Structure 1
Amino acid sequence: MIRIVVADDQHMVRGALAALLSLEPDLEVVAEAENGVAAVAAVAEHLPDIALLDIEMPDMDGITVAAKIRELAPSTRVLILTTFGRPGYLRRAMDSGVQGFVVKDARAPELATSVRRVHNGEVVLDPALAVASLSRGPNPLTSREGDVLRASADGHTTAEIAERLSLSKGTVRNYLSSAIAKCAARNRQEAARTALERGWL
């Protein structure tokens, strides 16, 4: 049996995924989690073969969870299943040790096949997303530029961002200017929107 932890913050989606996978004779859902922290705890407790994760979850996003799982349970393989088919997400997910990345409009038999393939050591990627990711290129934002732009997207002022990230206001302005230029945007709001749409944040 291939043992699976399913993590998705939407109760109905999570339940449907677990029910569909459990119909397969060789798949067993051993736990469900409604957020990133619960997903890490479930993997630590059950040490499943596969962690099936959504990206957009409260408390900790799926890509961060994947990186935690790689440290905590290196034998658990991670398959991301998401509505958000953004090229930047795919690149970040692969950097976090994810073995599979598929979008939620895949049919149930395709999902079960993806689980089996990832379990067998294959890398499974949504083809359209893989092409888009390659054509778009790598994330141009540095880690710090991303932090500042993310804080800016939450509506914080330059002074608030500086205090929150332990930076000077001048440094925050420099990071914001650089991020705005890299996103080919006119202002910080547009830059944050562009970065989010491309999966860079």
Structure 2
Amino acid sequence: MKTLPILVVLLLALSGCDKKSDVFMFDCVVYDQKVDAPVSGASIIMKVQSATGGFNPTFVTVGSAITDANGRFYIEVEKGVYFSYRLEITDSKHFNGTFDINPDDVPFSTAYSSTFPLEPRAWVSTRLVNQNSSQTATFRIDAETGNCTDCCQSSSTIVQGNSVDSIFTCQVYGQQQIEVEGNYVDQSGALNQISETAFATAFDTTLVTIIY
């Protein structure tokens, strides 16, 4: 049996080490804590804010990946001096996530590991039915939405008319208790309260019907 000379073995070993010596490694997981499951098929974009030549506020894309069945992704970034790393994570069933990573937390010779949480999408459909010729109804959805600009807003929706049968739908974070609250003015001019609770199941639409 032929054996490789010791020098060749050493050279091969060194070349294997050099292969990873010029990159920063990111070996991370995307996870949905609300449903307690990894997020597979999520799109990952890695950006950096370079410190070469002074401060540059622009983030430049340097890598991308797709999470596997376990929510894991791996990205290599060419070694350099950076002010910040930024991960942009998107998935059709979850709200997008943007996460900044401090360069001081990134190891020089081993992989950076972390778990990044995404919030599941859910929808609340509020059906207002005016069966009593009431005058005006006002309602809002009380739910956790974080900084989501496309979600149910804290401001109230005003509905007028005697023959109303309308559905208003908006997004919230999934797996949470929500409340539809407001009031309506009946035929006599009296003010009545609206208060209905429901559970917004992740990845689904929850219907709340208000009859006034």
* TM-score interval for Structure 1 and Structure 2 normalised by the shorter chain: under 0.3
Larger helix proportion of the pair: 1
Which structure would you say has the larger RCO, counting Cα contacts within 8 Å and 6 or more residues apart? 2
Q: Which of the pair has more CA radius of gyration?
A: 2
TM-score, normalisation: structure 1: 0.25
Larger strand proportion of the pair: 2
